[in-house]
Amino acid sequence: MVYCLRMFRKVCIVLMIKRKTLTYVILTLLLLASFVSSATSVLSSTVEDIKNQISNAGNKQENIQDQLDKVSGALADKQKEYEKYSKEYAQLAKDYENGTSDLQKRKDEIENLFRELEELQKTIEEKEAEYQVALDLFYQRALLTYKYSGYSALKMYVESGNVFDYNDRIRLMKDMMASDKETMEELVRLKKDLDAKKELVEITTLDLEQAAKEKENLLNQIKDNQSNMEHVLTVSRDAIKRLEAQEAALEAESKRIEAELRELQWQYEKMLGQHEGELRFLWPAPEGKWISSYYGYRTHPITGQWRMHSGIDIPANGGTPILASEAGVVATVAWDEGGYGWYCIVYHGDGFSTLYAHSSKILVKVGDKVQRGQTIALVGTTGGSTGNHLHFEVRVNGATRNPLDYVSLY
């Protein structure tokens, strides 16, 4: 009986232990399921949030691009308007210069005329003096003639001493009358000449003064138009500066949003497990908007041989920036005559490095620490190149990889 009781007790203890263990297992599974569910919910929420951020950033980018198009259009119109006003102003300046030259000629003519008038005035004064002398003489002759006008030939003969004296007196009277006639004619001529000269002086002076006055009025009007045009040009220049600043700000914001979109896209892809454990590089040529040659085998554009292309080619204008795709240390700066031309290599750690080739100028040296997005070189066409572009490579432990696995334009 005692043995049976002991066995029953042992069985109960075992059952209790198993029940507790089963309870613990069930509780653990429930907690794990709850954690997994929570993590899945958080991950789903985060992915959805990033998708929303990408969508919002895309909308912002579209809105900024619309604004940029409008500002660029307004800037182009304003620049055309400014060019038009500049031409008008240049024509006004030319008219003013020509008018000033013409006015100076008129003033010179007036000055010369005044000198001539001074000489003419002296001549007029001399002629008037001659006229006065001749007029006085004429009056004297006229008095004398009047005195003898009542004399008869008989009375003159009686007063004469003899025949010869009589004849002399008759001849003298005739000479005086002829001289008086000539004097009268000369006086008339002098009078007409003086009047004509005075009239000419007055008319010429009035004409020149009137012409000079009209020219001055025209110049003043041109000057006023110039002042108005200068104001218009100043307003246009200010408007152009504002539009240029607005355009630059919009372009900067557009590039910032592009970078934000790339970063958000990277985060989104990373959350989906597409880039787990890998670096995500920045697009190295901000002015390059397309790829002219991809990673992989191709026909070489210069040699014509079928060979491996170890990177991607990004066309861009010469002299535009080349950016470090990630922070790191400059490991190489070198020249390769028939291949890379001027190129540099940046080491980023964990075996990753990037190469930038065909540069027109390298802005860093070996050992320099560079930041993500720092300008390290300028686009060029050095070495074996057919045009301005960036040859960009990604290497892992020295071996080239497809750059598009680590970087994308958008």
Give the pLDDT confidence score for residue 30 in this predicted structure.
45
Q: Which residues, 6 or more positions from 365, have their beta carbon under 8 angstroms from its beta carbon?
A: 330, 333
Q: What is the pLDDT of residues 367-377, one digit of tens each?
A: 999 999 999 99
Q: What pLDDT, on the 0 to 100 scale, is given for residue 1?
A: 47
pLDDT at 157 over 70: no
pTM: 0.38
The secondary structure of 144-155, three-state, reads HHHHHCCCCHHH
Domain ranges of the chain: 1-277, 296-405
195 in Cβ contact with 131 (< 8 Å)? no
Least confident of 70-79, 142-151, 389-398: 142-151
Can you give the pLDDT at residue 35? 39
DSSP 405: G
Reported in sequence order, the residue ranges of 209-317 that DSSP labels E, i.e. its strands, are 296-299, 306-309, 312-315
CB of 197 within 8 A of CB of 120?
yes
CATH, domain 296-405, list 1.10.3720.10, 2.40.70.10, 1.20.1730.10, 2.70.70.10: 2.70.70.10
Q: Outline where DSSP puts E strands in 291-374.
A: 296-299, 306-309, 312-315, 321-323, 328-336, 341-349, 352-359, 361-362, 369-370
CA 244 to chain centre: 9
Q: 1-277, superfamily in CATH? A: Methyl-accepting chemotaxis protein (1.10.287.950)
